[in-house]
Structure 1
Amino acid sequence: MKETIQLTSLEPSDDLAPFVESFWMIENPSDEDEELSTFPDGGIDLYFFHNTQYPLHISLVGLETDSKLGSMPKHSILLGVRLKILAAEYLLSTSVADILNDRITLENGFAGIQLSDLENFNAFCEKLSQYFSAQLTGPIDSRKKRMSELIYQSHGAITVTEIAEEANWSSRQINRYFNKWLGLPLKSYCDIVRFRHSFDSLKAGELFPKEGFNDQSHYIKLIKKYSSLTPKQLAQNENDRFVQLYSQD
Structure 2
Amino acid sequence: MKETIQLTSLEPSDDLSPFVESFWMIENPSDEDEELSTFPDGGIDLYFFHNAEYPLHISLVGLETDAKVGAMPKHSVLLGVRLKILAAEYLLNTSVAHILNDRITLDIGFAGIELNDLASLETFANKLSLYFASQRTTPIDPRKKVMSDLIYQNHGSITVTEISQAANWSSRQINRYFNKWLGLPLKSYCDILRFRHSFDSLKVGELFPKEGFNDQSHYIKLIKKYSSLTPKQLAQDENDRFIQLYSED
Normalising by structure 2, we get a TM-score of 0.99
SS of residue in 2 equivalent to 1:212: coil
Percent identity of equivalent pairs: 85
Q: Which consecutive residues of structure 2, in runs of 5 or more, have no partner in the other structure? A: none
What is the CA distance between 1:220 and its match in structure 2? 0.1
By how many angstroms is 1:137 displaced? 1.8
How do 1:132-147 and structure 2 match up within 5 A?
132-147=132-147
Q: Which residue of 1 aligns with 2:186?
A: 186
What does residue range 165-204 of structure 1 map to in structure 2 within 5 Å?
A: 165-204=165-204
Q: CA deviation at 1:183?
A: 0.1
The residue that corresponds to 1:90 in the other structure is 90
What is the CA–CA distance in structure 2 between the aligned matches of 1:89 and 1:171, rounded to whole Å?
19
Q: Describe the SS at the equivalent of 1:92.
A: coil
Structure 1 ranges of 4+ moved more than 2 A: none
The answer to whether structure 1 residue 113 and structure 2 residue 108 are counterparts is no
1:238 Cα deviation from its structure 2 partner: 2.6
Give 1:121 deviation, angstroms: 1.3
Alpha-carbon distance between aligned partners in 1 of 2:204 and 2:18, rounded to the nearest angstrom:
28
Match of 2:17 in 1: 17
Q: Describe the superposition over 1:185-234 as per-residue Cα deviations: whole angstroms up to 9, x where unpaired.
A: 00000000000000000001100000000000000000000000000111
- Aligned positions, number: 249
Report the alpha carbon displacement of residue 114 of structure 1 after superposing the two structures with TM: 0.3
Q: What CA distance in whole angstroms lies between the structure 1 residues aligned with 2:76 and 2:50?
A: 6
Does residue 48 in structure 1 map to residue 40 in structure 2? no
CA–CA distance in structure 2, aligned partners of residues 101 and 195 of structure 1: 17
SS at match of 2:91: helix
Post-superposition offset of 1:8: 0.4
Cα drift, residue 236 of structure 1: 1.7
- 1:22 is displaced (CA, Å) by 0.2
C-alpha distance after superposition, 1:163-201 (max 9, x if no partner) = 000111000000000000000000000000000000000
Normalised to the residue count of structure 1, the TM-score between the two structures is 0.99
Q: Render the CA deviation track for 1:36-56: whole Å, top value 9, x for unaligned.
A: 000000000000000111000
Q: Secondary structure of the equivalent of 2:239?
A: helix
RMSD: 0.6
Is 1:157 matched with 2:157? Answer: yes
Kindly provide the CA deviation profile for residues 68-100 of structure 1, in whole angstroms up to 9, marking residues without a partner as x. 000000000000000000000000001000000
Report what 1:73 is aligned to: 73
Letter in 2 for 1:247: S
Displacement, 1:139? 1.1
Separation of aligned partners in 1, 2:239 and 2:143:
43
